[in-house]
Chain A
């Protein structure tokens, strides 16, 4: 692989390969969380559409109008539920000695890697639906804008805290070393 960048002194093929590191899936229960939050969004949209037709005097209160507005929404709902299920197995993370890697995305597959010595701080968060399933998400902050921050959802409390400790411990170590 070194011939790709002939001007680099180290042999790149001997470096640990990110794509071959050990990846862990997130908790299964997160799929349910994702489905529920997805369903809430679409329920709100459908109720909204229903209300508009029902309360607006200019639109006739006939089944056809309901079908036209709510039908496509239902279709999108089903599609996005399918999409969520398909995309779920793509959400994987990997912890290596000096960095954290997270992959996600079905249509746009992204892999984000952040070295521990560039992490500013990390926090464990929990949304209202997460709470019902005892799930937590880990948020990793780097310096600069929000664009380069990383969120790993669907972790058990124990795991989330463990990862956070691991990351922060490393960060502190590196800081005192330099």
Chain B
């Protein structure tokens, strides 16, 4: 371990490959910022004016600036290890020297995008607690170095936290044989891709196409009608066929998009058990290595949809505590395919001292269902229907079909809505067409909120929200006595528990 400290005691530059990686990063950000301009200039070239020359020069200038910038960035980036902290000294125009004490470091993740993979380097991401901008990245390091630095820092941190050296050594021996909890093969990924929520990918595609079109031109309609002006007559004649076929085309595209996206993101996904928690490897173009610290996990959730149920698979979500708002996305880890046995295994590893058993289900009040049907179903249908009556006459009776649909939907929702509570944990059950479960440990709760609307006060009901360091869990419409009892018990549980909660 001491060699690591010695090796990186002097300010060190990153691996030389970093120049290329920084350059690509630069290009990416500039292109991301300016691509609508570039594209519209490119499209505008058809008209062929001398303006094009300027554009060419501007592009060259941009490229040169990027190259110089990334080279300078590389040569002005040093890092080294000190006793108890890592120091990063960087910046061309604005120089900053950051000193991060090991005890403030939460996790260290390794990442490899396609360039990293080609050159055999990794980028090291250091997450710290507290600060708003809590992330520090070393763009390119040799894999051995990155791993050495990571284990060094994490073990130093452990010692600072008060664990004796012996314990650490003993446990790190154990660590050698990392157990695989789950891994996804290509056929698993295919199943997951097939059972993805295709409506959502359709929506994403539409949003992407429209927002890009919007940036290129303000007049989407004009653009489309221009492009299709020759076909206009045929379109008008065959509008139904066009409509149907475009729906089919979009459907197929989003289906393919779902599958490719799933495979790229989760290629060779592997979840292993480590000394302090779990470790997740995944990705093809962008290979990630994420460590999950047991004690920081606040919430474990698993969900399915009707398609995925056919494969008996769940989407597993593990939520960790995070201090800065910006990290919230990163601290939620999603594994798109896991069998129930694997979900159970993860539960037992993450919450070892409080194994979960199924508990009697507590239903929420049936009034929730009626309220939802009235406020989402009946009222909107009547109001919109009445307004529409003045314009469309009796055709607006169609709006009334919304009511049975809402009835059906919320009956499904209500039937699945329940919660289970044991002396240590709480489980929330939700879902309409699919199922959605989440489990949290009671002692990790940090705020309890009881909310009563006027209506709820009259009916002696209350909505309970439990906040943890990773998010919240809501249980609506339960009897006020039950809510009070829950509040009293959970407060007692939190206040009498000495375990670390994040």
Query: Interface of A with B (CB < 8 Å)?
Result: 1, 4-10, 12-13, 15-19, 98-99, 105, 107-118, 142-148, 150, 177-178
For B328, the chain A residues whose CB sits under 8 A away are 145
B423 touches A114 (CB 8 A): no
User: How far is the CB of B490 from the nearest CB of chain A, in Å?
Assistant: 9
A113 touches B487 (CB 8 A): yes
For B499, the chain A residues whose CB sits under 8 A away are 178
A5 touches B468 (CB 8 A): no
For B491, the chain A residues whose CB sits under 8 A away are 15, 18, 98-99, 113, 115
Query: Interface of B with A (CB < 8 Å)?
Result: 321-323, 325, 328, 359-360, 362, 421-423, 445-454, 457, 467-472, 481-482, 484-489, 491-492, 494-495, 498-502
Instruction: Label chain A's interface by main secondary structure.
Output: mixed
A147 touches B489 (CB 8 A): no
B321 touches A143 (CB 8 A): yes
Give Cα A17–Cα B491 distance, bound, in whole angstroms. 10
Give Cα A17–Cα B447 distance, bound, in whole angstroms. 16
Instruction: Label chain B's interface by main secondary structure.
Output: mixed
For A98, the chain B residues whose CB sits under 8 A away are 491, 495
B323 touches A144 (CB 8 A): yes
B488 touches A15 (CB 8 A): yes
Given contact pairs A12-B485, A18-B488, A145-B471, A113 touches B423 in the complex (Cβ within 8 A): no
Give Cα A142–Cα B491 distance, bound, in whole angstroms. 15
For A105, the chain B residues whose CB sits under 8 A away are 451
User: How far is the CB of B417 from the nearest CB of chain A, in Å?
Assistant: 18
Given contact pairs A7-B359, A144-B321, A108 touches B453 in the complex (Cβ within 8 A): yes
For B471, the chain A residues whose CB sits under 8 A away are 144-145
B453 touches A7 (CB 8 A): no
Report the nearest B residue to A99, measured CB to CB: B491
User: How far is the CB of B487 from the nearest CB of chain A, in Å?
Assistant: 5
Report the nearest A residue to B482, measured CB to CB: A4
Give Cα A19–Cα B481 distance, bound, in whole angstroms. 10
For B494, the chain A residues whose CB sits under 8 A away are 115, 117-118
Which residue of B322, B446, B447, B471 has the most chain A CB atoms within 10 A of its CB atom? B447
Give Cα A12–Cα B46 distance, bound, in whole angstroms. 78
B453 touches A107 (CB 8 A): yes
Contact of A5 among B325, B421, B457, B472 (CB under 8 A): B421
Report the nearest B residue to A146, measured CB to CB: B325
